[in-house]
Amino acid sequence: MLIVMNVGATQREIDGVVCAIESLGFRAHPMPGASRTAIGVTGNQGAVDIGHFENLPGVAEAVRVTKPYKLTSRDLRPEPTIVDVGGAKIGGGSLTIIAGPCAIESREQAFSVAEAVQRSGAQFFRGGAFKPRTSPYAFAGLGEEGLKILAEVREKFGLRVVTEALDESTVDLVEKYADMIQIGSRNMQNFTLLRRAGRSRLPVLLKRGMAATLEEWLLAAEYVMSEGNYQIVLCERGVRTFAQHSRNTLDLAAVPAVRRISHLPVIVDAAHGTGRNYMVTPLARAGVAVAADGIMVEVHPRPDEALSDGAQTLTFDEYEQMVKQVRAIHEVIA
Ligand code: PEP
Ligand code: MN
């Protein structure tokens, strides 16, 4: 259920409704909007009696939400959510660029990429310390050592750092060193991890599962939000299809489709979405053209020596060109 407050409802009236929801054993999610506050109700197993709320002071209406996703939906919050990552904003019309190596390999490697990212004017640095690899024998990241390097990158270059957590215990570590928790494609339906991220103070970058429908993706975000963390950025990173010309099929139609039903920002990962260096820049341009809130790419000083995902990684020169091009496209459509 969704309770829409009157325009100009007082904080006291909002608190009164929250109290009424909690006294029934449910959870209240107040979402202040541009003109009025809406309060989402979760935790109810069956239908809640609308009559409980309709006559409370300050309430405009109580609405049953029939869609499976509730807190992620525009019904609850018509305005786009702007996610705050340590003071840097994602969403609301700006163009976010998240760039960095697939994995943190050494301090030297991370610093040289961070310098290129900073020079380009991007605010976000990515890099895995815990890598989910298909093979158990592949490089799985430097672990906490990698997180320490990320914290140094933040300190030295003033970038916000985004890194993946694989399970509940790595969320604890990521919280210690980073600015944003990435939940990877393979973990999009790891429900205990989603709930743990929902209890974090850090914003979450939620990648689309490699075979997830839009509804499953939004329900994964719903898991995070239902625990009280409303700071989520969705990331389209391609889905598995029969295509053999690319690693995944980047589903750019997902961007307007998500935007139509959800208030959450959505970005496009042109690296994992293609798997091929020569496709990354064209698809990053396309992502911006379909009005994604940002793009993610992988960058390395020597992609052919990268310990993971070299084939989809940009050199510094390629990265610099790409940034110029996507900014020009963003100017045109903004
Ligand atoms: C990544 O961004 O490093 C990654 C592993 O991506 P995905 O979860 O989309 O495969
Ligand atoms: Mn990668």
φ, ψ of residue 322 in degrees (nearest 5) = -60, -45
For 64-75, how does the pLDDT look when each residue is reduced to its tens digit (9 = 90+)?
988 889 999 999
Q: For residues 261 and 257, what is the distance between their CA atoms, to the nearest angstrom? A: 7
Please tell me if the CB atom of residue 208 comes closer than 6 angstroms to any atom of ligand 1.
no
**Angle (CA) 322 326 332, round 5°:** 150
- Taking the CA of residue 271 as reference, the ligand 1 atom at the shortest distance is 2
For 152-175, how does the pLDDT look when each residue is reduced to its tens digit (9 = 90+)?
999 999 999 999 999 999 999 999
Which of these, 71, 141, 67, 78, lies nearest to 110 by C-alpha position? 141
Instruction: Supply 282's token pair.
Output: 């064209």
Cα dihedral 157/274/305/323 (nearest 10) = -30
For 317-327, how does the pLDDT look when each residue is reduced to its tens digit (9 = 90+)?
999 999 999 99
Residue linked to tokens 């430097």 = 142
Closest CA to ligand 1's atom 9:
185
Please compute the mean of the pLDDT values over residues 17-21 and round it to a whole number: 96
Domains of the chain: 2-63 (3.30.70.1140), 83-333 (3.20.20.70)
Secondary element (H or E) of residue 88: strand 88-90
Please compute the mean of the pLDDT values over residues 93-114 and round it to a whole number: 98
For 253-289, how does the pLDDT look when each residue is reduced to its tens digit (9 = 90+)?
999 999 999 999 999 999 999 999 999 999 999 999 9
Residue 35 or residue 313, greater confidence: 313
Mutate to test the pocket of ligand 1, among 237, 248, 267, 298 (most ligand atoms within 8 A of CB): 237
Closest CA to ligand 1's atom 3:
102
- Taking the CA of residue 269 as reference, the ligand 1 atom at the shortest distance is 9
Residue linked to tokens 């380009």 = 120
- Tell me the CA–centroid distance for residue 216 and ligand 2, in Å: 23
Q: For residues 332 and 218, what is the distance between their CA atoms, to the nearest angstrom? A: 29
- Taking the CA of residue 235 as reference, the ligand 1 atom at the shortest distance is 9
Ligand in nearest proximity to the CA of 306: 2
Q: Which residues make Cβ contacts (< 8 Å) with residue 234, sequence separation at least 6?
A: 206, 208, 217, 221, 258, 262, 264, 265, 266, 267
Please tell me if the CB atom of residue 128 comes closer than 6 angstroms to any atom of ligand 1.
yes
Ligand in nearest proximity to the CA of 312: 2
How far is CA 320 from each of CA 89, 122, 277, rounded to the nearest angstrom?
Answer: 22, 11, 14
Closest CA to ligand 1's atom 5:
184
- Tell me the CA–centroid distance for residue 309 and ligand 1, in Å: 10
DSSP 177: H
Mutate to test the pocket of ligand 1, among 185, 246, 300 (most ligand atoms within 8 A of CB): 185
pLDDT at 44 over 90: no
Query: Confidence class of residue 50 from pLDDT cuts 50, 70 and 90?
Result: confident
Please tell me if the CB atom of residue 187 comes closer than 6 angstroms to any atom of ligand 1.
no
Please tell me if the CB atom of residue 274 comes closer than 6 angstroms to any atom of ligand 1.
no
SS3 268: strand
Q: For residues 187 and 126, what is the distance between their CA atoms, to the nearest angstrom? A: 18
- Tell me the CA–centroid distance for residue 230 and ligand 1, in Å: 22
- Tell me the CA–centroid distance for residue 285 and ligand 1, in Å: 20
For 216-228, how does the pLDDT look when each residue is reduced to its tens digit (9 = 90+)?
999 999 999 999 9
Residue 215 CA from chain centroid, whole number? 16
Determine the angle formed by the axes of helices 107-119 and 144-157, rounding to 10 degrees.
40
- Tell me the CA–centroid distance for residue 103 and ligand 2, in Å: 7
